[in-house]
Amino acid sequence: MQRNYYFHHVEHRKRQKSSKKTLWISLIITLFFTIVEFVGGILSNSLALLSDSFHMLSDVIALGLSMVAIYFASRKPTGKYTFGYLRFEIIAAFLNGLALAIISLWIFYEAIMRIIYPKPVESGLMLVIATIGLIVNIVLTIILMRSLKNENNINIQSALWHFIGDLLNSVGVIVAVVLIYFTGIQMIDPILSMIIAVIILRGGYKIMKNAAFILMESVPAHLDTDEIMDDMKSVDQVLDVHEFHLWSITTEHYSLSAHVVLDSKSGQDAYETINKLERLLKEKYGLAHTTLQIEHLEMNHLDEAYFSDIK
């Protein structure tokens, strides 16, 4: 018998219509130009074009992976996955960043080999393909940046870094063509490819680092645990806050759990105090998913000597 679960006061899924539309448009455009650039790279014998075509192939894979992640993130929680599938998009983002790093290392290796074993480059065709690529990547970068303004999504961020790398590669190819044409130095092509590879590697590292912080359940960068605990302790009847945990499920989805020691002699209703704490956390810090456990000095046999100092 199929079971339905409706026990969440905070929805553990994302409805990301803008992100889905953006990724579909980006995927179609990128797939088409990947084929064009790969053929152009072979015909012109340009390492810069070939490396960029492989980079764009990784973009296609990354975009597909991001679309799968967004699909799973929109699914409802189940009895087994009570947080839903939100973490899938973080795993996808980490893999996208790893792909960027691997591609940059491959480009670097190929550039070194091209320096050792130089090959002539057909600058005319190289310029045409690179110019088209520059226009395509500018359009895709603008689309992704606008999408990020509407919906903050780590997979859109990783896709944006992919296309920034492509945009820089296109600029590099055009610069290489002009310099090769006027100087005749073929080595300019692999040297510029190496510079672009370093930039791509930096973007991949940044994406992996951000995803790793979430996977390691670290405190969101914009939140301070000491400040939050101090604010919680300032609420009437609250003696202490401990067993405090704050982490990210995914981008903009945070969870907090804590034990709250209350002064049972004050005569105030404990749940009224908990409601005050929840409002404080939601209104001031945007923490809508909180789990607060009540503790009383007498009932829980806590160290009263310690808490007498607090009072």
Query: Tens digit of pLDDT for each residue in 284-306?
Result: 998 888 889 988 766 555 555 55
Q: Write out the two tokens for 58.
A: 């990784």
Query: What is the DSSP code string of 193-236?
Result: HHHHHHHHHHHHHHHHHHHHHHHTTPPPTT--HHHHHHHHHTST
Those residues whose C-beta lies under 8 Å from the C-beta of residue 309, and which sit 6 or more positions away, are: none
How much is the pLDDT for 15?
53
How much is the pLDDT for 281?
92
Rounded alpha-carbon distances, angstroms, from residue 185 to 52, 125, 126, 178, 198: 21, 17, 15, 11, 22
The answer, yes or no, to whether residue 10 has pLDDT greater than 90, is no
The reported pTM is 0.68
Instruction: Give tens-digit pLDDT for 70-111.
Output: 777 677 777 787 777 778 778 888 888 888 888 888 888 888
Amino acid at 161: W
Q: What is the mean pLDDT of the chain?
A: 78
Instruction: Name which residue leads in pLDDT, 37 or 231.
Output: 231
Instruction: Give tens-digit pLDDT for 242-270.
Output: 999 999 887 777 889 999 998 877 656 88
What is the spatial distance between Cα 299 and Cα 42, in angstroms, rounded to a whole number? 77
